[in-house]
């Protein structure tokens, strides 16, 4: 399932609040227009599998490999049990590196043992608790979980301070000579609460507009 939908919060309210809180960001919001952030409501297992496959690859190459991995399952539903039944050699043949093969198998095992819960079980957890739980999976770091929080779980207040696009957008928007440190970006971003996901989306657009 690849259907996208609007996130479960009020984007218009978010942009109004951000404009009131930060005039410089407000100018960008006015120039870009309404936020069109969308989410894909996958289960965490499916979303993290895709994230692991896509790591450190161009979108086109990653999409090809992801398609080959999914093709290994045929008509069978993609599940942790099904993934564990696929030989490592088949995953390598689909284009996964040895490290990514180990990572997706670890993801499947940790989904089955409950370390990686389903989407319903994640909902009551804070962002920090979700990051702590899911970074227990081999090859899954905080940034990967932050993307899941934003684009799978639809959390409104995520600021991925290590994301180069967000940092570059901040540098452009606020006319700094150098990229902000993660701590400096986090400090400035306090004024964007509780809509830091939307602020991040606009910082990515700042980079797009500069190209």
Catalytic residue numbers read 163
Tell me the HSE value of 52 on the side-chain side, using a 13 A CA sphere: 28
With tokens 């390598």, the residue in question is 92
Residue (of 44, 103, 106) closest to 78 by Cα position? 44
Q: Identify whether the C-beta of residue 111 lies closer than 8 Å to the C-beta of residue 84.
A: no
Structure tokens given for 73: 């399952």
Cα torsion for 134, 135, 136, 140, to the nearest 10°?
100
């Amino acid at each position: 399932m690849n259907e996208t939908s609007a996130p479960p919060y009020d984007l218009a309210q978010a942009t109004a609040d951000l404009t009131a809180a930060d005039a410089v960001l407000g100018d960008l919001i006015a120039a870009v227009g309404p936020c069109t952030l969308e989410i894909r409501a996958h289960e965490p297992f499916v979303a993290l599998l895709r994230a692991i496959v896509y790591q450190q690859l161009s979108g086109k190459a990653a999409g090809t490999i992801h398609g080959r991995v999914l093709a290994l399952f045929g008509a069978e539903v993609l599940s942790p049990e099904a993934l564990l039944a696929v030989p490592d050699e088949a995953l390598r043949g689909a284009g996964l590196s040895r490290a990514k093969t180990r990572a997706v198998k670890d993801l499947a095992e940790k989904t089955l043992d409950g370390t990686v819960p389903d989407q319903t079980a994640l909902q009551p957890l804070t962002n920090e608790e979700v990051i702590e739980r899911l970074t227990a999976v081999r090859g899954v770091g905080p940034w990967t979980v932050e993307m899941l929080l934003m684009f799978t779980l639809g959390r409104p207040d995520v600021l991925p301070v290590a994301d180069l696009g967000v940092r570059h957008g901040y540098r452009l928007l606020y006319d700094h000579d150098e990229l902000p440190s993660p701590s400096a970006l986090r400090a400035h971003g306090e004024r964007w609460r509780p809509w830091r996901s939307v602020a991040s989306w606009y910082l990515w657009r700042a980079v797009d507009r500069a190209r």
